[in-house]
Amino acid sequence: MQSFNKVKQNKNLNSKYRMANRSRRTRKNNTKENSRKNTRKVGGKRKLNGYMKFAQKTRPEILRANPSLRSDVVAVARKIGEKWRSLSPAEKARY
């Protein structure tokens, strides 16, 4: 009987501890610092670099030429990379 009472006391202590931690966690999440992290930045994004502009222009052309690659994103990216590497610096400068 005595061991049963100890177990019951431990359960009560654990539940009190959990409640204290829960309230501590919610207080921590409501601070100004955390609320700033969750807000989205206002303003424009960075400009696309040359490779990304080239990829946007080239991707539809590659998919038209190879319809079987439509579901293989990696293969399309490889083809775009191969084309980009084959361009001369003067052609890359256009982008």
Residue 51 pLDDT greater than 70, yes or no: yes
* pLDDT confidence band for 56 (50 / 70 / 90): very high
Q: What is the mean pLDDT of residues 22-44?
A: 61
Tell me the domain boundaries of the chain: 2-38, 50-93
* Least confident piece of the model among 27-31, 41-45, 60-64, 66-70: 27-31
**pTM exceeds 0.85, yes or no:** no
Q: Kindly indicate the confidence band of residue 67, based on its pLDDT and cuts at 50, 70 and 90.
A: very high
The length of the chain, given as a count of residues = 95
Contact in structure between 82 and 64 (CB atoms under 8 Å) = no
Angle at the Cα of 93 (from 87 to 95), degrees rounded to 5? 90
Q: Is the pLDDT of residue 48 over 80?
A: yes
Q: For position 26, what pLDDT does the model report?
A: 55
For residue 45, what pLDDT is reported? 87
